[in-house]
């Protein structure tokens, strides 16, 4: 079959590929500890499920909703962002999307033309690059020179060209767990304003920061920055709702209208029942979010300490957010005779039965990503197996 050039230039998601391989091994009876997936291991809180069930039973979830989402959900998102950022947000600035992933896809479709460049900062989430390519743009990936893996305005200026249209800042970051401070975020967001580059702030892990780290949303940083920013967020990670597929975009109304014109032909409204669930997530008790955050924090503390002591593993910085560890494993690879972190990750899967994602998938070879969104018992077991493998 002859596929389109567009489809042929896209590689399958590396994170999903590892997880599929791990599941295949599990299906043959092999006991794999799967640390490759990016989703909370907690069940969606009961109050959210109850709200979804009620919306189905009453019949109101049976119908199309407006393309941009239920008016009450758009308003709840605006209120939620306003409460978090102390900045007035209206529902015209909000689009509800099929996960944050679709929000990003639609943003690229709305803004990029052939030849436009998008700056992303390694290590970066796997889908940015492929989504930019699908929109005809090209990716300019920065390998930060700073030891802590953070980029700076000076570094960004080296990579800016006349074609630079967008910059993506993902903090807290997948896969490294690093969190930019308020000053660092502000400096980058201001650089974007000064250089006429629009900023995509992917804050999907904004509620998941640990050990006293503070997360400052770009939305708190004044009119010039906010009007130049497209906020990407959603309920997947903070509310343990990955499968429900509800994300949102907050941006100037003019851009939201354009995105919704596209969405009307792409997905129509995000699934109605999931929207009712998201409404409850945002309006109901926020206690479960804090409980899950505390559980992640405990696991981070314990697992980070254990990982640091594995021979050949080292960290560029102490992770402070999201739910991933991203150790530098170059020494471990060398001591075991592997030429790449992909080979190392494959050996960990096949021989130690621990599934992780190689740094290559995130534009930063020499590292692996492990998710600690799983029980401490399994995390301890993974560390034990990796240690044994390294001997
Ligand atoms: C950095 C980042 N952005 C966006 C997404 C997409 O989130 P969603 O599941 O809401 O589509 C993910 C999911 O892994 C992510 O890690």
Per-residue pLDDT of 345-363, as tens digits, reads 999 999 999 999 999 999 9
pTM for the whole structure: 0.96
How many beta carbons lie within 10 A of that of residue 290, not counting itself? 12
Residue located nearest, by CA, to atom 14 of ligand 1 = 38
Average pLDDT over residues 166-174: 98
Q: Do β-strands 198-202 and 164-170 pair in parallel, antiparallel, or remain unpaired? A: parallel
Q: Residues of CATH 3.90.1150.10 domain(s) within the chain? A: 5-43+288-390
Average pLDDT over residues 211-235: 96
Q: Classify residue 116 as exposed, middle or buried by CB count within 10 Å of its CB (0-12, 13-18, 19+).
A: middle
**Residues 286/280, Cβ–Cβ less than 8 Å:** no
Class of domain 47-283: alpha beta
Average pLDDT over residues 178-192: 97
Average pLDDT over residues 210-215: 94
pLDDT at 11: 79
Given the CA of residue 38, which atom of ligand 1 is nearest to it?
Answer: 14
Task: For Cα atoms 12, 237, 224, give the angle at the middle one, nearest 5 degrees.
Answer: 95
Per-residue pLDDT of 116-147, as tens digits, reads 999 999 999 999 999 999 999 999 999 999 98
Q: How far is the CA of 350 from the centre of ligand 1 (A)?
A: 27
Q: Residues of CATH 3.40.640.10 domain(s) within the chain? A: 47-283
Given the CA of residue 322, which atom of ligand 1 is nearest to it?
Answer: 16
Given the CA of residue 170, which atom of ligand 1 is nearest to it?
Answer: 1
> Shortest CA distance to 376 belongs to which of 268, 272, 302, 275?
302
| Distance in angstroms (rounded) separating the CA atoms of residues 15 and 372 | 15
Contacts 24+ apart (CB under 8 A), 220-225: 220/85, 220/86, 220/87, 221/185, 221/186, 221/189, 221/190, 224/190, 224/193, 225/186, 225/189, 225/190, 225/192, 225/193, 225/199
Ligand 1-lining residues (CB < 6 angstroms): 38, 99-101, 125, 170, 174, 202, 204, 234, 236, 242, 247
Testing ligand 1's pocket by substitution, the residue of 122, 232, 236 carrying the most ligand atoms inside 8 A of its CB is 236
Per-residue pLDDT of 239-272, as tens digits, reads 999 999 999 999 999 999 999 999 999 999 999 9
Given the CA of residue 246, which atom of ligand 1 is nearest to it?
Answer: 10
pLDDT at 21: 85
**Which residues pair with residue 34 across a beta bridge?**
355
pLDDT at 12: 75
Q: Do β-strands 117-121 and 164-170 pair in parallel, antiparallel, or remain unpaired? A: parallel
Comparing 15 with 386, which gets the higher pLDDT?
386
Given the CA of residue 103, which atom of ligand 1 is nearest to it?
Answer: 11
Per-residue pLDDT of 6-37, as tens digits, reads 999 887 776 677 778 888 999 999 999 999 98
Q: How far is the CA of 235 from the centre of ligand 1 (A)?
A: 10
Which architecture does CATH list for 5-43+288-390? Alpha-Beta Complex (3.90)
Q: Where are the beta strands (DSSP E) in the chain?
A: 33-34, 94-97, 117-121, 138-142, 164-170, 198-202, 229-234, 247-250, 324-325, 354-355, 357-358, 368-371
Per-residue pLDDT of 52-71, as tens digits, reads 999 999 999 999 999 999 99
Q: How far is the CA of 105 from the centre of ligand 1 (A)?
A: 11
Residue located nearest, by CA, to atom 13 of ligand 1 = 38
Average pLDDT score over the chain: 96
Q: How far is the CA of 248 from the centre of ligand 1 (A)?
A: 11
Average pLDDT over residues 193-212: 97
Per-residue pLDDT of 305-319, as tens digits, reads 999 999 999 998 889
And the tokens for 39? Answer: 């989703």
Residue located nearest, by CA, to atom 7 of ligand 1 = 100
Cα–Cα separations (whole angstroms), residue 376 to 125, 297, 342: 25, 11, 25
pLDDT at 193: 98
């Amino acid at each position: 079959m002859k596929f389109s050039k567009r489809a042929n230039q896209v590689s399958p998601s590396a994170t999903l590929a590892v997880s599929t391989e791990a599941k295949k091994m599990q299906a043959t009876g092999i006991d794999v500890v799967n640390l490759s997936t990016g989703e909370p291991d907690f069940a969606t809180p009961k109050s959210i499920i109850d709200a979804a069930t009620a919306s189905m039973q009453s019949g109101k979830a049976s119908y199309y909703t407006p393309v941009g989402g239920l008016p009450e959900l758009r308003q709840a998102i605006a209120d939620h962002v306003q409460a978090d950022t102390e900045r007035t947000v209206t529902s015209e600035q909000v689009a509800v999307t099929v996960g944050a992933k679709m929000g990003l896809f639609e943003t690229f479709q709305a803004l990029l033309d052939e030849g436009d460049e998008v700056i992303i900062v390694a290590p970066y989430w796997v889908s940015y690059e492929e989504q930019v390519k699908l929109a005809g743009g090209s990716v300019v990936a920065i390998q930060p020179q700073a030891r802590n893996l953070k980029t700076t305005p000076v570094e960004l200026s080296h990579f800016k060209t006349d074609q630079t249209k967008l910059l993506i800042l993902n903090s807290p970051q997948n896969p490294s767990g690093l969190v930019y401070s308020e000053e660092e975020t502000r400096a980058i967001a201001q650089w974007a304003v000064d250089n006429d580059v629009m900023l995509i702030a992917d804050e999907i892990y904004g509620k998941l920061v640990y050990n006293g780290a503070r997360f400052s949303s770009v939305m708190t940083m004044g009119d010039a920055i906010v009007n130049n920013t497209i906020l990407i967020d959603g309920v997947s990670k903070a509310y343990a709702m990955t499968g429900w597929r509800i994300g949102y975009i907050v941006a100037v109304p003019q851009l939201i209208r354009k995105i919704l014109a596209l969405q009307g032909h792409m997905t129509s409204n995000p699934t109605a029942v999931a929207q009712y669930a998201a409404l409850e997530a945002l309006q109901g008790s926020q206690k479960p979010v804090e409980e899950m955050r505390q559980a992640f924090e405990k696991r981070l503390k314990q697992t980070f300490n254990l990982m640091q002591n594995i021979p050949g593993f080292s960290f560029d910085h102490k992770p402070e957010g999201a739910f991933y560890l991203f150790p530098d494993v170059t020494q471990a690879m060398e001591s075991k005779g592997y030429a790449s972190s992909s080979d190392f990750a494959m050996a960990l899967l096949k021989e130690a039965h621990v599934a992780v994602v190689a740094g290559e998938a995130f534009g930063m070879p020499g590292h692996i990503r492990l998710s600690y969104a799983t029980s401490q018992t399994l995390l301890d077991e993974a560390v034990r197996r990796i240690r044994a493998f390294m001997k």
